[in-house]
Amino acid sequence: MNSTAQRVEPGSELPPRPPAVDAEGRVLLKSMTLDELEVWVTKTLGEKRFRARQLWAWLHNRRVSDFEEMTDLSKAFRQRLSDGARIDALRLESVHEASDGTRKILWRTDADAVIESVWIPTPNRVTLCISSQVGCAINCQFCLTARMGLRAHLNTAEIVDQVVQVRRMYEEERRLTNVVFMGMGEPLHNPDNVIPATRILYDRQGLDLSARRITLSTSGLVPQIRRFGAESRARLAVSLNATTNEVRDWIMPINRRYPLEELMSALESFPLRKGERITFEYVLLKDVNDSLDDARRILRLTAHIPCKINLIPFNPHPGTEFVPSPPEQIEAFRALLSSRHASVTVRETRGDDRMAACGQLGSPGPRQPKRMDPPEAFRTHIRPSDAPRGPAGDAR
């Protein structure tokens, strides 16, 4: 049972990775954990280890953008860094503010791709939603990003830089308290870059975010869930969204590879510290997954997993065939779960007037992956679409 599982403290037992480099061969400094930076500074540059810790503090704690600001480093060391390394991995493209104060931030990568982060201020916290890929390969039917297909993995520096630059931009206005890997992409489809990024974010000598306030959301890649549990202290959220394999096969084709039984078994053994819980995210789609029978099945599926359930009203986007569940159905769904003593919340929709809400990120253009054919019983419940569809077995 996960309530008694022991979770390792990741760190030096993991072999150091080579740093990411740009097209000109310059090292992207934010691609490295502190241990990796120490190896690079001592082995490649021949400097003392304490220099790596000084550099780390300038990158992540003080968050400078110019090597000349690193005043406790020697001029010669700063010049070597300037010649062969880079501080920022992303270029700010634009910021779009919604009426509720949510800000959709567009970044341009070296490969000329645009990715998005979302800065979400609420009275008690400020959350940054960050991306892990350009596009996404998982093809969830209700998500706008899925229409892009997968175009590229972000490297660790590009992931971390979203947080560093946003703190540089907005820290004087509001302190960032939470980071969620719920932007563009499936984080655990890019584990070699995402998992080290989580460790960089909660490093006490750098950005010093609480690991309990960093959440990674996955569609359910079972082997990578196990790896994440062993290598990171960040929290886990699972995008559930259906309570039967028939429906989940349709709206989340990854379920054809890792069906509900296999997913739930992995989550039952996921290592949790005392007081930790897994979050189940559940996007409510009218007449698809919002019946009271679905609510009862959620209770059965999660009965042996310490968890909380986050109900998410569907945020429509152009071309979607799905319709949001009406507020009264969402409330009935929530009330049934609550009456059985489940920990359940309904997510407040924020940023939807700037296409910054959950499921609305990306600018896909023509749809890349094909739509999945719905099961026969659901074909009268969704809006028709002229977009090409994949065959029933197409799990792209």
Active-site annotation, residues: 116, 358
**Residues near 231 by beta carbon (within 8 Å), at least 6 away in sequence:** 8, 10, 14, 195, 199
DSSP string computed for 140-198: -TT-SGGGG-EEEEPPHHHHHHHHHHHHHHHTTTS---EEEE-SSS-GGGSHHHHHHHH
Q: How would DSSP label each residue in 21-59?
A: B-TTS-EEGGGS-HHHHHHIIIIIS---HHHHHHHHIII
Query: Pairing between strand 150-153 and 133-135?
Result: antiparallel
Rg (CA), the chain: 22
Identify the CA nearest to 307 among candidates 241, 236, 217, 211.
236
Q: d(Cα 61, Cα 141) in Å, to the nearest integer?
A: 40
Give the count of alpha carbons within 13 A of 330, CB side only. Answer: 20
Residue whose pair of structure tokens reads 């990715």 in the numeric block? 115
- Measured in whole angstroms, how far is the alpha carbon of residue 204 from the centre of its chain? 21
Nearest-angstrom CA–CA distance, 271 and 224: 13
End-to-end CA distance of the chain: 33
